[in-house]
Structure 1
Amino acid sequence: MKRALALLILAAPLAACGLRPLYGTGAGSATASALGEIEVAPIDERSGWLLRNALVDRLAVGGDSTARYRLDVIIDDDITKFGLRGDAGATRERRTLRTRYQLIDLATGETLVDATAGSDAGIDITSSPYATVAAEQSALERLSMEVADDIVARLALYFDRTRGQ
């Protein structure tokens, strides 16, 4: 009984801390519906295609709503070799995916958000070129999902702050 009372007393201040879920009532929240109103402009290269697909998957919360915003993304996909062996061959690679994205209001043409996001992954270079290429592609797929998650989270925070959910 004392333990339950102590937990209740300790938990009471948490109710007044001001924390609330970002998506509020789920798919019907103002933040979720705003995310559903974003169209993603085409992005160059295979890495751009993967990132665009990941963004479209995450932003399609609102269903069949008319786009009020456009997300323009510029992507930089880079592989750097390092960790040299005695024969001057590389033993590791670092794949870096960096983006600059802008959220544009289609009604006014105003840039609402101008930010960057990125992630990187380390890749072991093996004696099999096929395995190395497969590892590079797998890393790119993971990085695309991570960067898309980061962009969507930041856009959700923007809409949460500006729409005062």
Structure 2
Amino acid sequence: MRLFILLASTLLLAGCGLRPLYSGGGAGAVAQSLRSVDVAPIGGRSGWMVRTALEDRLGAPAGVQARYRLEVELDDDIIGFGIRRDDAVARERRTLRARYRLVDAAVGTVLLDATAGSDAGIDVVSSEYATVAAEQTALERLAREVADQIVTRVALYSSRTGPGR
């Protein structure tokens, strides 16, 4: 009976149409496509962090002609809320939003236009140094999260439009 259930489950799973995004590993179509994406410069400290995270995840080798260009515009904002009795801010929310476009480098056609974003809560403490350090740590984490969202979306686009699709 267990063998029958296992066999039936395998057949049902095979028929559902799910397939691994990164099938083929580093030699797969999606990984190859991601390696052919050049990230355009992004202004500011948050832009540098997001661009570095994107380049790390995309894995484009230096000196290779890119097939795609990724253009990113960031909105980095800190809003204070949670006022104490002395009218000082008790909490902050740091928000990092990105609008990004995947552009065909040869023609200039926009292939993908989307947004990504994340936010983090920060406790404001009596030590100004600790608050600034918490804000910077939050920015580092948000940059990684936004870069992960962008790369995932570009990989999905690549898997849907790649060879054989």
Flag whether TM exceeds 0.5 (same fold): yes
Gaps of 5+ in 1: none
TM-score (norm 1): 0.93
Q: How does 1:43-122 map to 2 (within 5 A)?
A: 43-60=42-59, 65-122=64-121
Deviation at residue 3 of structure 1 after TM alignment: 3.1
Identity of aligned residues (%): 59
Contact 1:33 1:61 in 2 (8 A): no
Give runs of ≥4 in structure 1 deviating > 6 Å: none
Residue 2 of structure 2 aligns to which amino acid in structure 1? Answer: R
Q: CA deviation at 1:65?
A: 3.7
Q: Deviations over 1:92-113 (max 9, x none)?
A: 0000000111111111111111
* Residues 95 and 123, structure 1, Cα contact 8 Å, conserved in 2: yes
The answer to whether the 8 A contact 1:27-1:61 is kept is no
Distance in 2 (CA, whole Å) between partners of 1:99 and 1:69 is 18
Q: Distance in 2 between matches of 1:38 and 1:64?
A: 12
Point out where structure 2 has 5 or more consecutive residues left out of the alignment. none
State the AA in 2 paired with 1:81: G
Q: CA RMSD in A?
A: 1.5
Residues 22-53 of structure 1 show CA distances to partners (whole Å, capped at 9, x for unaligned) of 11101111111111011101100000000000
Counterpart AA for 2:76: D
Partner residue, 1:145: 144
Structure 2 SS opposite 1:132: helix
Q: Distance in 2 between matches of 1:128 and 1:3?
A: 61
Shift of 1:124: 0.6
Q: Deviations over 1:115-137 (max 9, x none)?
A: 11100000111111111111100
Q: Compute the TM-score of the two structures, normalised by the length of structure 2.
A: 0.93
How many residue pairs are counted as aligned between the two chains?
Answer: 164
